[in-house]
Amino acid sequence: MLPASHRLRRSDDFRRAVRSGRRAARRAVVVHLLFAPAGSTREPARVGFVVNKAVGNAVLRNRVHRRLRAVLAARVPELPAGSLTVVRALPSSASASYDELVADVDGALRRLLEPR
């Protein structure tokens, strides 16, 4: 489970991460990562999810959300402190297995975390 201190809740934070952060897309997900400004207070990394109706009905959306939350809960320690991460599920995530979601999220995070 993703601890409350690592959850992204405010719409302003979602908007900031999506508009100003780096983006990496894979088959089932798009990951947006906004690094904390240099010299800012050291807050924990926070993660949010966007799973819209294009993914499927409520049952499918909730399943995808739970799977993505489990994947990111294990990867929060790897994220930079103070960063904002938004994971947006694409329609193909409804038919993706858990292992495929793990591979997609890991690939996207690897690309975003490599130095420019």
pLDDT single digits (tens) 46-74: 999 999 999 999 999 999 999 999 999 99
Cα–Cα distance measured from residue 114 to residue 116, given in angstroms and rounded to the nearest whole number = 6
pTM: 0.93
| Closest to 23 measured CA to CA, from 116, 111, 115 | 111
The class that CATH gives domain 4-113 is: alpha beta
- Over residues 1-28, the mean pLDDT reads 94
Total Cβ atoms within 10 A of residue 27 = 13
pLDDT at 41: 63
pLDDT exceeds cutoff 80 at 40 = no
**45 vs 42, which has greater pLDDT?**
45
